[in-house]
Amino acid sequence: MAEFFVIRGYRRRGIGTQIAREVWMRFPGPWEVRVMQSNVSACRFWERAISGFLGRAIQPIGIEKGEGCRNLFSFESGSAA
């Protein structure tokens, strides 16, 4: 999956979290979620969504590539499903 976006009017209703959980459960295995560090609200969303899915806290690591600074969340979905 290359992009994940929730239209502004549907945010803060749990829709994005629920869809992400369904995708992770349907496709178990290793996952990487990369988020622009400058997108603070998206970084918070992914940290909450992934931590809630795994049942434990997860912290991103910072990476720098040609497209700029990103936070990388890396996890295994099969261990939580």
pLDDT tens-digit readout, 3-50: 999 999 999 999 999 999 999 999 999 999 999 999 999 999 999 999
Residue 80 has pLDDT above 80, yes or no: no
Question: Is 74 a domain residue?
Answer: yes
Question: Is 79 a domain residue?
Answer: yes
Question: Is 18 a domain residue?
Answer: no
In this predicted structure, what is the pLDDT of residue 81? 43
Residue by residue, what is the 3-state secondary structure of the chain? CCCCCCCHHHCCCCHHHHHHHHHHHHCCCEEEEEEECCCHHHHHHHHHHHHHHHCCCCCCEEEEECCEEEEEEEEECCCCC
Q: Could you report the per-residue pLDDT of 46-63, keeping only the tens digit for each?
A: 999 999 999 999 999 999
Q: What's the number of domains the chain is made of?
A: 1
In this predicted structure, what is the pLDDT of residue 76? 96
Question: Is 12 a domain residue?
Answer: no
Q: Which domain holds residue 80?
A: 30-81
Question: Is 49 a domain residue?
Answer: yes
Question: Is 17 a domain residue?
Answer: no
In this predicted structure, what is the pLDDT of residue 60? 96
**Model-level pTM?**
0.87
Question: Is 2 a domain residue?
Answer: no
